[in-house]
A and B are shown apart, each in its own frame.
Chain A
Amino acid sequence: MKQRILLLVLALPFLFFSCDYSPSGEHYEEINPKPAVLADLTLHPDKDTLYVRGLILFDFSISLPGRALRMYQLKLDGTLLTEGYKDADTHAFISGNYGNGFHTLQLSAQGNSGTGSLADKVGAEVLEVYRTWTIYIENGPPAAVAITKVEPENGTLRLEWQQSSWRTFAKYELYRIRLGGPLELMASISDVKQTSWRDTTYIGGLVSYWITVSELQDSYDKYTTGPTYTYHYPLPTIVQQSYDAAHRLTVAFTTTPFYKNFESYALTSPQGLSYLSEVQTDTVVTFEDPGFGTDFAFRLVAYPKKVNKEYYYNTHSTYNKVAGYGTAWGPQPLASLWVNTQENLFYTGKDNWLEVTDASTLQVKHKRRTSFHTPEFPHLTVSANGQHVYAIENDTVYKLDPRTLESIAIYRIQALLSADGFYGNISLEGCSNTNRLVIGAKTSSYRDSIYVVDMHQKKLLKQQHSAAYPRETTISPDGKALRIYDAYLVEQGNGNWQKQAIGDTETTLRLIFHPDKPWYGIQTDTRLEFYAIHSGALQTAIATEVKLNRFSIDAASGFLYGTAENTLYVYNLETGRLVRKQKLAQNGIDIFLFKDKIFSSDRYIPL
């Protein structure tokens, strides 16, 4: 019993505390977690799509009835622009910081959820409402447009380009630069939808176009230049040429497809050939015999309408070389060409070479290297009978084999002329059949002198100073007469040379010696008279149609020939009759007659 009570007492404290009061009860509140949301977000300016450039003020306001706005955020493409706590605010939007094109502007507002729940009361529930606007940013300068196509169409040149999508488009400006020409503003177009234009002044040649796009930007224009489009339609050019039996020249040239832009053709040559036409299809031209002697450097131009012709001619004409008629053989330097009638050879000096050419086949037979000479100071001479051929190199005179040009004899110029003295500008002026060589040289007195040397005896026969220039001298085939510029000298029996009066200076300058006969010939107006060198008696005379500018005698055929204006006259000296009258392509060209041919520097025709 005692133990039981003690145990009870010991158990009491545990009994006391083991069943303390436990509070009870629960209050559950039925709340709609998704109440209706009334919200209004407004933006000014407000449009379905906002077009923005430069700086714009976005005025926006937020209305969340029944809820407290905690924060708003304004975002562009998800990137925060600004945020704040006011229910109406303004944001200065600098559109230039963003790329051109479409963007999404979003205004979002956060408020409490408004459910009235515990989480709402403590701010753990957030309601977010947002609204988006599409904005299109377009800041200058405008996007460039490119020319996409340039092609002939209906007789003009049609250009097409991309249409500008620029909102604030103001105008297209179309520019052109033609070859060698100025920058031209061709068109200014304010209709954005117009994307083609016709160039009514283009006919051909290299041309570049480009477009600029301008926009209206406050008070000044901003513009962007598009890429250059280069177009080239070949300019008309000669493609065919032919001569008929009457030496009529027919040329055909290409035309231009830009017939509406066409105004006229002009085809001209320095020889005086000229063709003008305003008919676009007239591209075949026939000229009457244009004459012998040269090629024709035609310039062809097709003029468009409304053009400065001088500029256009200089920049848009084409050079068209049309060969003259006759058989080609040249080009030969006629001023450095000597004829050996007996051997039927031509000698020509070209640069550092002397060449021997067969006068019939025109094939080069031999060559000899020599020093450089200019035609002004001839370095070769041939006697009229073709037996004596001399050449000069520096201060050495060579006697050459007429057929091969190999050296036969060598002479020091100092030995031939005199023991001392300076000899410059040495030239060979002629050689008689009697082996009398005429040498021109500049002496120590700096005066041109003419020396006549008997090459058999190596004896100086005559020395004549001359102040005149050029030092043109000829010697008669018999070696008895000389013309030194405007002086005619004849050797007397005692070896003296006596000056003979035969006329005025011009007459003397035109004096020639007959290649076969001991005659000299002079010209008086249209009359040519030949006199015997010894007696001075008139031997023969012919009348020419016109006064010839120059005349000479071809030893091979015996014909006398000369030119006047652009005509070659060939006379039979014995009969005095006109053998041939040949039109030349232009005045003053070098022509010579040999045997049965008429030669120019690069062509020949039969006599």
Chain B
Amino acid sequence: MQKLNLYLFVLLLPLVFDAAAQSGVYLELRAGAGTFGMKSMKELQQQAVHTSGIDAKTTDTFGPYVQFGANVLKDLNENTRAGIFVEHGSTGGRVSYRDYSGEILIDDLMSYNAVGGMLYSHYAIRESKLHFFSGMELNAFFSKLVHKEYWRIYTESAESEDTFKAIGVGIKPFVGLQYPVVHLPLRLSVGYMASASAPFHEPGKPKNKLTRNADGKSLEPGWSGLRLNLSVAFPLFGKDGKHSGVK
């Protein structure tokens, strides 16, 4: 995890300085929220409930959660911008059971780091500061699953934690509105993420794929879902100076 972060950071640095060397470059910080399909993971939960033989419940089924990220954008022309971005998001699921004699807790912690590129066009609405924009993001997913199980029978307990990795791709069309707030352009977008992923595998061993005991099918993350995104842009060394962001 640490290693990946460092990797991303190092990857990002030349882009920043490269962008800084040009005009009309923005660093945009983004935060969003989204839902996740996670069909395969939900099936895994159901199987866990079923095979436990007890009245366990899924108390958390990979609910919506926030993502964070950063874009580096450059104006291609007056109405079009392209750039690259990184994003980190996470969700999780839980199967829970507890009675006087003990408990079972099965947590699946899922996260991804996405790296991709984006392109969008924007147009002022009635010559106002309010802009409409629409575009597309294309990214790679580096997914991680931490599967935790905790058992306790009276005072005897046991727990396990396993980590798996998967890679995938995603495409997200989006539309939104842009408005400058205190000279900084604020963008709010809504989109849909369509994703596809390879199965989880043991870290460093791509051939050791994770499968479900019940049916032998592979498990993969399902990041597809609605996305709501808010970003704020900071102009970087541009010719247009501060004004470029106000365009």
Contact = CB atoms under 8 A, between A and B. Distances in A.
A13 B88 CA distance: 9
B100 A27 contact: no
A33 interface: yes
A71 B92 CA distance: 44
Interface in A74-108: none
A68 to B, nearest CB: 14
A9 B98 CA distance: 44
Contact of B108 (A5, A23, A33): A23
Contacts of B102: 117-119, 122, 124
Interface string B221-239: 0000000000000101000
Given A9-B12, A26-B96, A121 B53 contact: yes
Interface residues of B, number: 48
A377 B53 CA distance: 130
B8 interface: yes
Contacts of B12: 9
Given A21-B92, A121-B53, A29 B97 contact: yes
A117 B104 CA distance: 12
A115 B153 CA distance: 14
Contacts of B59: 23-27
A393 interface: no
Nearest to B65: A21
Nearest to B110: A21
Contact of A119 (B27, B96, B109, B153): B153
Nearest to A12: B70
B99 A31 contact: yes
B70 A125 contact: no
B101 A25 contact: no
A120 interface: yes
A25 B59 CA distance: 5
A5 B236 contact: yes
Contacts of B55: 27, 29
Interface residues of A, number: 32
A28 B101 CA distance: 11
Interface in B60-77: 60, 63, 65-66, 68-70
A124 B101 contact: yes
Given A23-B60, A23-B94, A118-B153, A125 B108 contact: no
Interface string A11-41: 0110111011111111111110100000000
Interface in B204-247: 234, 236
Contacts of B178: none
Contact of B99 (A5, A21, A25, A29): A29
A362 interface: no
Interface string A324-364: 00000000000000000000000000000000000000000
Contacts of A28: 98-99
Nearest to B156: A124
A118 B104 contact: yes
Given A33-B101, A118-B97, A9 B68 contact: no
Contact of A33 (B68, B96, B100): B100
Grouping DSSP codes into helix (H, G, I), strand (E, B) and loop, the B interface class, with mixed when no group exceeds half, is strand
A13 B56 contact: no
Given A13-B5, A27-B59, A117 B96 contact: no
Given A5-B27, A27-B59, A16 B94 contact: no
A607 interface: no
A28 to B, nearest CB: 5
Contacts of B56: 27
Contacts of A118: 54, 97, 99, 101-104, 153
B101 A120 contact: yes
A31 B100 contact: yes
Interface in A263-280: none
A67 to B, nearest CB: 16
A125 B154 CA distance: 10
Nearest to A115: B101
A25 B94 contact: yes
Contact of A21 (B9, B91, B98, B154): B91
B111 interface: yes
B182 interface: no
A408 interface: no
Nearest to A24: B60
B91 to A, nearest CB: 5
B153 A21 contact: no
Contacts of A115: 101
Interface in A194-218: none
A8 interface: yes
Interface string A394-412: 0000000000000000000
Contact of A17 (B5, B104, B234): B5
Nearest to B63: A21
B9 A26 contact: no
B57 interface: yes
Contacts of B99: 28-31, 117-118
B207 to A, nearest CB: 28
Query: Max chain B CB contacts within 10 Å: which of A27, A33, A119?
Result: A27
Contacts of A9: 12, 16, 27, 70
A423 B100 CA distance: 132
B93 interface: yes
B107 interface: yes
A117 B101 contact: yes
Given A13-B5, A26-B98, A117-B100, A8 B109 contact: no
Given A16-B68, A17-B1, A124-B156, 9 more contacts: A20-B111, A23-B60, A23-B92, A23-B108, A26-B98, A29-B54, A29-B55, A30-B99, A121-B53
23 contacts: A8-B29, A9-B16, A12-B86, A13-B8, A13-B9, A15-B68, A16-B5, A20-B109, A21-B65, A21-B109, A21-B110, A23-B94, A23-B108, A27-B57, A31-B99, A31-B100, A31-B101, A33-B100, A117-B101, A118-B99, A118-B102, A124-B102, A125-B101
